[in-house]
């Protein structure tokens, strides 16, 4: 766990670029918007590829948004030299969506030495709550962001 430190804005900017260009984020057309200490904001513009046969956004899209928003809310509060991986997500689907934007807001709940917990809500662009869930993450020394050594330092001194 990290005491409250000042995030390096250059690191945040580069992390957002790396994450938004990663294959899975590109596949879902998912993007991190602002990333703060203990909070995140992600968005997906709903496209035909997100719809299931009934014309509604597939639940997997909402699950991915909840997991990613919770993850990226926790990330700023973890030590600079560790990685995270999700070990469990719990999710409630609360309303259908079929067009517009899905907006996920993540919040860090607990950052520990081995386990972290985050939560996220997904709303449509009219403010209707579409999904809510939690994500439990495991802290790992062996997992690093690809190209991590080229990133600016995570924290300012």
Q: Give residue-wise pLDDT tens across range 36-93.
A: 999 999 999 999 999 999 999 999 999 999 999 999 999 999 999 899 999 999 999 9
Nearest-5° Cα angle at 46, 41 to 72: 20
Looking at residue 79, the DSSP 8-state letter turns out to be -
Percentage with pLDDT > 90 across the chain: 87
Cα gap 26→92, rounded to integer Å? 25
pTM, to two decimals: 0.94
Residues linked to residue 72 through DSSP beta bridges, in sequence order: none
């Amino acid at each position: 766990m990290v005491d409250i430190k000042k995030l390096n804005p250059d690191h945040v900017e580069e992390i957002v670029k790396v994450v938004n260009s990663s294959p899975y984020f590109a596949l879902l057309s998912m993007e991190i918007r602002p990333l703060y200490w203990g909070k995140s904001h992600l968005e997906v513009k709903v496209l035909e590829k997100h719809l299931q046969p009934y014309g509604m956004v597939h639940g997997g899209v909402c699950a991915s948004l909840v997991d990613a928003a919770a993850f990226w809310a926790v990330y700023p509060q973890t030590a600079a030299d560790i990685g995270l991986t999700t070990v469990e997500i719990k999710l409630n689907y609360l309303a259908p969506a079929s067009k517009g934007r899905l907006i996920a807001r993540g919040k860090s709940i607990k950052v520990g030495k081995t386990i972290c917990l985050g939560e996220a809500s997904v709303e449509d662009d009219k403010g209707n709550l579409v999904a809510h869930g939690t994500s439990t993450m495991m802290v790992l020394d062996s997992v690093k962001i690809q190209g991590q050594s080229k990133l600016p330092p995570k924290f300012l001194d």
